[in-house]
């Protein structure tokens, strides 16, 4: 028998609410100069001087947004922070603090919450944000996790979804679609495991996809790169629900149309192989998959020179007059209207 190192199970009831908060937060320190008071009082106290404050919240519900059967708690904690700081980066702002609220049933031992907080603390460190508060309560069933991120920016640097112009270029960072196929691979392995628990999956061929699903990173680097290029996007959004649905958000809020070119959409070679294996259309996954946490933005045409040789960026299309609509131009040069199917719709197929 293999000893399970996580065998120790301390019941939440042993600690009580205040004991648990103390247990989870006693080693949290703050590093942002703007954090005047973090955890420990009725409220945190923050100083943003002459900066504007950007705030974003996400709520994650077990069984709806995550499945602990293939999402280790440490990864869940990490990802929950990433999702939030990604929203702050998408405003062209710098994340500075987060609050963390959890509701858990007594099915979870203290050790499980330690793992969750290991992930949260690791992400907070890697994105340079202070954990300045939160709330801890019980739930009847399952786990609910909500994180709020705060960030700062100069007023003139903030990018909204609404700023895209009719002739702007559409640009995406990194590659898209991998996180969705990572989930498909994990779901398949879970089914195999149910039938044959002895089976040790060989996941090498899927490593990038699984990493994109389980340990996504927000594009912490892009704000600095844009600044160095003296480039301010006209509009920006992060890719959480899928390229297609994010493009539609930018278009609707900016009052423009868009042509997205299928042949330009950046995908990883591993995604191409796995889509073949699963017999799924690569472009469908790339535009509808979601959870990529890349940044999607528009720039004025005359700024093309600034990004054209930069490996972080791919121009995937251009905006048009609103009356022209929002289309995917396929490799065969046909025009298909883009639909916001997003993450959930794709799951139901
Ligand atoms: P109150 O009853 O005034 O809301 P709590 O006893 O809930 O205060 O919380 C005490 C302190 O611990 C507060 O600073 C709060 O922000 C912080 N806190 C509570 N739960 C968490 C958590 N899950 N993660 C981080 N900080 C927390
Ligand atoms: Mg409270």
What confidence tens digit (pLDDT) does each residue in 94-116 have?
999 999 999 999 999 999 999 99
Is 90 exceeded by the pLDDT of residue 8?
no
Higher per-residue pLDDT: 195 or 229: 229
Give 254-308 pLDDT, tens digit per residue.
999 999 999 999 999 999 999 999 999 999 999 999 999 999 999 999 999 999 9
Q: Known binder of ligand: residue 57?
A: yes
**Ligand 1 and 253: CB distance under 6 A:** no
Task: Take residue 98 and report the two structure tokens written for it.
Answer: 């987060």
Give 187-224 pLDDT, tens digit per residue.
998 888 777 777 777 788 899 999 999 999 999 999 99
Give 39-70 pLDDT, tens digit per residue.
999 999 999 999 999 999 999 999 999 989 87
The protein residue whose alpha carbon is closest to atom 4 in ligand 1 is 42
Task: Take residue 110 and report the two structure tokens written for it.
Answer: 């203290």
> Which ligand is the nearest neighbour of the Cα of 124?
1
- Can you give the pTM of this predicted structure? 0.93
- Site to probe by mutation for ligand 1, drawn from 19, 21, 143 as the one with most ligand atoms within 8 Å of Cβ, is 21
The protein residue whose alpha carbon is closest to atom 22 in ligand 1 is 134
Q: Known binder of ligand: residue 318?
A: no
Sequence-distant (6+) residues with CB within 8 A of 309 are none
What span, in angstroms and rounded, lies between the C-alpha atoms of 349 and 184?
Answer: 13
Average pLDDT score over the chain: 93
Question: 6 falls in which pLDDT band (50, 70, 90)?
Answer: low
The protein residue whose alpha carbon is closest to atom 2 in ligand 1 is 42
Q: Annotate 195-228 with DSSP letters as a single string.
A: H-TT-----GGGHHHHHHHHS----TTHHHHHHH
> Which ligand is the nearest neighbour of the Cα of 39?
1
39 CA → ligand 1 middle, Å: 7
Q: Which residue has the tokens 């679609």?
A: 177
**Ligand 1 and 21: CB distance under 6 A:** yes
Question: Helix %, strand %, coil % for the chain, to 5?
Answer: 40, 25, 35
Question: 1 falls in which pLDDT band (50, 70, 90)?
Answer: very low
> Which domains are assigned to the chain?
12-153 (3.30.1330.10), 169-337 (3.90.650.10)
């Amino acid at each position: 028998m293999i000893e399970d190192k996580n065998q120790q199970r301390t019941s939440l009831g042993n600690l009580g609410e205040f004991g648990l908060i103390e247990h989870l937060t006693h080693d949290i320190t703050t590093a942002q100069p703007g954090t005047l008071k973090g955890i420990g009082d009725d409220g945190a106290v923050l100083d943003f001087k002459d900066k504007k404050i950007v705030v974003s919240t996400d709520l994650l519900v077990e069984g709806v947004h995550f499945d602990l059967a293939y999402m280790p708690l440490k990864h869940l904690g990490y990802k929950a922070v990433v999702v939030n700081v990604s929203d702050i980066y998408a405003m062209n702002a710098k994340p500075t603090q987060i609050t963390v609220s959890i509701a858990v049933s007594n099915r979870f031992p203290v050790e499980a919450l330690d793992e969750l907080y290991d992930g949260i603390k690791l992400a907070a460190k890697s994105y340079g944000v202070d954990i300045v508060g939160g709330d801890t309560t019980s739930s009847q069933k399952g786990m609910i996790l909500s994180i709020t991120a705060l960030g700062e920016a100069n007023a003139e640097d903030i990018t909204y979804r609404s700023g895209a112009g009719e002739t702007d270029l559409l640009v995406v960072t990194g590659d898209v679609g991998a996180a969705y196929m990572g989930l498909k691979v994990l779901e398949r392995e879970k089914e195999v495991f149910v039938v044959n628990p002895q089976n040790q999956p060989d996941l090498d061929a899927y490593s990038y996809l699984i990493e994109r699903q389980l340990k996504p990173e927000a594009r912490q680097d892009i704000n600095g790169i844009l600044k160095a290029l003296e480039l301010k996007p006209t509009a920006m959004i992060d890719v959480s629900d899928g390229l297609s649905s994010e493009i539609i958000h930018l278009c609707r809020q900016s009052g423009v149309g868009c042509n997205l070119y299928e042949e330009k959409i950046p995908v990883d070679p591993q995604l191409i192989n796995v889509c073949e294996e699963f017999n799924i259309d690569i472009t469908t996954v790339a535009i509808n998959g979601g959870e990529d946490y890349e940044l999607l933005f528009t720039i004025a045409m005359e700024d093309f020179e600034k990004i054209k040789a930069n490996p972080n960026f791919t121009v995937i299309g251009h905006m048009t007059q609103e009356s022209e609509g929002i289309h995917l131009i396929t490799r065969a040069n046909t025009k298909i209207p883009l639909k916001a199917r997003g993450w959930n719709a794709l799951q139901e197929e």
